[in-house]
């Protein structure tokens, strides 16, 4: 028996370790006691703890059975020896004859020559490897599954103890890679423009702050089993279409969830961890950490998707255990780091403290992106692995202009960045001075600048930005952000508020654009193999007209005695437009028959979002009062590239000669027919693309509120006629043929050279 360390069963080992860690004495004495207790419990002659240094080497921090003089002296290079193999695999290594393993590395100062049996486990916290815990025996021995389980549980508790700072001093922690220390620059995709300086707050729903050691292991096991049963019942209910709280995911995804939730191996790993003495929450975190460390760098898409499913299931299980930590109380100057976030979740955050958002996923055209732009919140998305590269409290510089995220920058970089923030603040002040100035080109062409909206939070910016109206009000946001189907009077109140905020400025309401990526959380939704080309927008509305008719009634009521400007989304045929118009006229007639007030005038428009309607435009223009180009969808369908798929969403340039010829065709036909036309897609708010749109003949742009200042400044310096002449030359087939095949892709380079030569601010 080891002196002062009584032998106990595996289930009592965690409590014994907790007592050792709570005893008086310095850190080294307590670590020495810890490894001695583990060796005794597993009947091993050696137990050693290696902690990972910032340079990725592994340092021997404590040992029982090896030479004590080797502590803090023996260091294994990155990937060296059996310890390095455990780091590489991020999973346990159990060997009967360790010296025969090809990766075995002998360090004479440790005096480990006579030892043969070997069991080592990674010390993981949140999927990040902090160290390795090893036991060895003189005899050739294969450690049991129970021994391995005990050592893994100890390693998790040890990770929490080391990371908490209660054991090691700040000076000692400097030599342990608890968190990345060096400065890094990560690249992502611009989602919402802006610059921000702040401190990282990790949105990791599984963070567990309870004691990892169970006071009553049997009670914790039963609590975990009960939570797993609740989880399985909730997933089964989702699969059967009851209480669809997942926001209408596809049946295929639900089948995968159901399969993983009922995976016996997953449950066995959880129950084993709890049975060995971990709390239920800590058991979930331990198993999650093992999966995260093992699958994080997997190249196989199936394995990566499996990890995503298991992560989500772990989070849901922790919700059933009541262990989820919310983000209701953010620290000052928070930069939230998350895998993804929905629009409702974003609106729930304290905007006064939230400075920016960094997402591992995310898309510029997602609902959360639109909300972020409305809030003027800088966002960078598709930053791969950011949650594993950032630690809570790290300094973060977010550049929403370039899509870059600076982590733990040095002083010079941060000072230069803060200077950019100050410069940008000065530019915004300059934009504010242009608020009441008409947007008119140097050669006298008046451009109407309206704003896009969809939320009440957008409305104050109508006055602040100097917008001339709301060129696109996305009515579906009220439905997407609600946990129930909005009643007619709720819709009417919102539309009243919008019209009151606009005053005498026009508002164009777009009817519900649902389906595809816009799924209501309270309506059952069947899986479609290609949702973007499926049952969505006006197709859905005409097949199930009840929802559309209720919306028509709310709009008619809200605009009684005023002008109603209404626009239909995703029209692909004249028949769809005529059917929608007939429904609207029928509802107006119905309101009149009931003696209700109706709009003084009605203007009916169509979105131009599909190539199909572009080539029917000359006929459509005889039936509409106005049209609006929805460039997001139009470009998606033109280039056959899903705008939500990062692999293809940037495979094309909107300034491609083909897409510009199509847009020019739309502008030409509308101008010839004297039909008002606007562009309300994302490109209208980008100065480069906006300049080209104006050169093509578009004289009304509807943009995010924050884009009005930069776009107006560009317009005031633009000569529309001169740029139009140059654009025609760039697009001329003869000119392109002479320039060679590569020049046919895009006219962006030609325009940027033109802008620089002519002093056009972009």
**Residues annotated as part of the active site:** 367, 680
Is 410 exposed, middle or buried, given 0-12, 13-18 or 19+ CB atoms closer than 10 A? exposed
User: Which residues in 722-761 are b (16+ Cβ under 10 Å) and which e?
Assistant: ebbebbeebbeeeebeeeeeebeebbbebbeebbeeeebe
Q: CB pairs under 8 A, 24+ apart, for 657-662? A: 657/730, 657/731, 657/736, 657/744, 657/745, 657/746, 657/747, 659/635, 660/692, 660/696, 660/727, 660/731, 660/747, 661/731, 662/611, 662/614, 662/638
The answer to whether 605 and 582 have CB atoms below 8 angstroms apart is: no
Is the CB of residue 633 less than 8 Å from the CB of residue 570? yes
Alpha-carbon span 566 to 598, nearest angstrom: 14
Q: What is the DSSP string of 374-401?
A: HTT--EEE--TTHHHH--TT-EEEEETT
Question: Rounded distance, CA 35 to CA 61, Å?
Answer: 10
SS3 track for 702-725:
EECHHHHHHHHHHHHCCCHHHHHH
Q: Looking up tokens 């060895």, which residue turns up? A: 136
- In the sheet with 117-125, reading across from the earlier edge strand, the strands are 75-76, 58-64, 46-52, 128-137, 117-125, 93-95
515: DSSP letter: B
How far lies 67's CA from each of 47, 110, 186, in Å? Answer: 11, 5, 43
State how far the alpha carbon of 737 is from the alpha carbons of 572, 587, 730, in Å. 33, 55, 11
């Amino acid at each position: 028996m080891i002196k002062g360390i009584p032998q106990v069963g595996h289930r009592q080992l965690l409590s014994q370790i907790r007592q050792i860690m709570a005893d008086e004495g310095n850190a080294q004495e307590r670590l020495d006691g810890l490894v001695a207790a583990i060796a005794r419990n597993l009947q091993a002659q050696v137990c050693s703890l290696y902690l990972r240094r910032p340079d990725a080497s592994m340092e021997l921090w404590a040992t029982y059975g090896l030479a004590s003089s080797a502590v803090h002296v023996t260091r294994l290079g990155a990937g060296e020896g059996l310890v390095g193999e455990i780091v590489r695999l991020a999973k346990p290594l159990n060997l009967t004859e360790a010296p025969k393993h090809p990766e075995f590395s002998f360090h004479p100062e440790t005096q480990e020559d006579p030892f043969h049996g070997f069991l080592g486990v990674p010390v993981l916290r949140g999927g990040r490897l902090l160290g390795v815990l090893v036991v060895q025996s003189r005899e050739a021995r294969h450690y049991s599954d129970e021994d391995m389980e005990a050592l893994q549980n100890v390693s998790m508790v040890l990770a929490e103890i080391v990371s908490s700072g209660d054991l090691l001093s700040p000076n000692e922690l400097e030599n342990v890679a608890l968190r990345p220390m060096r400065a890094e620059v990560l690249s992502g995709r611009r989602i919402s423009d802006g610059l921000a300086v702040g401190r990282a707050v990790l949105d990791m729903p599984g963070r567990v702050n309870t004691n990892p050691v169970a006071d009553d292991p049997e009670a914790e096991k039963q609590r975990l089993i009960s939570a797993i049963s609740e989880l399985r019942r909730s997933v089964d209910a989702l699969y059967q279409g009851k209480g669809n709280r997942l926001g209408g995911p596809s049946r295929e995804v639900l089948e995968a969830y159901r399969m993983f939730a009922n995976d016996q191996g997953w449950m066995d790993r959880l129950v084993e961890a709890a049975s060995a003495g971990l709390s239920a929450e800590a058991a979930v975190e331990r198993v999650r950490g093992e999966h995260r460390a093992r699958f994080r760098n997997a190249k196989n898409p199936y394995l990566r998707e499996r990890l995503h499913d298991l992560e989500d299931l772990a989070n849901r299980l922790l919700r059933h255990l009541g262990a989820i930590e919310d983000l209701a109380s953010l620290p000052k100057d928070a930069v939230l780091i998350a895998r993804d976030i929905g629009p409702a979740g974003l609106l729930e955050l304290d905007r006064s403290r939230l400075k920016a958002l960094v997402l591992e996923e995310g898309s510029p055209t997602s609902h959360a992106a639109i909300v972020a732009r409305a809030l003027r919140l800088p966002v960078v998305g598709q930053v791969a692995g950011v949650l594993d590269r950032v630690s809570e409290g790290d300094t973060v510089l977010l550049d929403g202009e370039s899509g870059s995220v600076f982590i733990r920058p040095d002083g010079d970089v941060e000072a230069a960045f803060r200077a950019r923030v100050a410069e940008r603040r000065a530019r915004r002040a300059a934009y504010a001075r242009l608020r009441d100035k008409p947007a008119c080109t140097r050669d006298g062409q008046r451009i109407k600048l309206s704003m896009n909206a969809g939320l009440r939070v957008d409305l104050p910016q109508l006055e602040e930005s100097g917008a001339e109206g709301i060129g696109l009000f996305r009515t579906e946001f009220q439905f997407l952000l609600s946990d129930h189907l909005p009643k007619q009077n709720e819709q009417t109140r919102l539309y009243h508020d919008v019209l009151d905020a606009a005053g005498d400025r026009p508002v164009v309401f777009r009817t519900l654009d649902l389906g595809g990526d816009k799924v209501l959380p309270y309506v059952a939704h069947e899986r479609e193999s290609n949702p973007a080309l499926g049952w969505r927008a006006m197709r859905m509305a005409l097949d199930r007209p009840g929802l559309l008719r209720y919306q028509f009634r709310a709009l008619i009521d809200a605009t009684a005695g005023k002008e109603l400007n209404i626009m239909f989304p995703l029209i692909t045929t004249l028949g769809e437009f005529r059917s929608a118009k007939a429904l609207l006229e029928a509802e107006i007639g119905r309101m009149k028959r009931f003696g209700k007030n109706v709009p003084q005038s009605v203007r009916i428009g169509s979105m131009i979002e599909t190539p199909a309607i572009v080539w029917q435009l000359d006929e459509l223009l005889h039936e509409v009062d106005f049209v609006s180009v929805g460039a997001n969808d139009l470009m998606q369908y033109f280039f056959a590239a899903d705008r939500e798929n990062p692999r293809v969403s940037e495979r094309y340039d909107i300034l491609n000669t083909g897409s510009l010829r199509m847009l020019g065709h739309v502008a030409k036909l509308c101008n010839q027919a004297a039909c008002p036309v606007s562009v309300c897609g994302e490109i209208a708010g980008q100065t480069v693309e906006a300049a080209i749109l104006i050169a093509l003949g578009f004289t009304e742009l509807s943009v995010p509120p924050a884009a009005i200042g930069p776009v107006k400044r560009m317009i005031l310096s633009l000569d529309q006629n001169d740029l139009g002449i140059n654009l025609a030359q760039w697009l001329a087939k003869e000119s392109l043929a002479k320039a060679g095949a590569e020049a046919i892709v895009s006219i962006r380079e030609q325009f940027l050279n033109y802008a620089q030569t002519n002093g056009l601010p972009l």
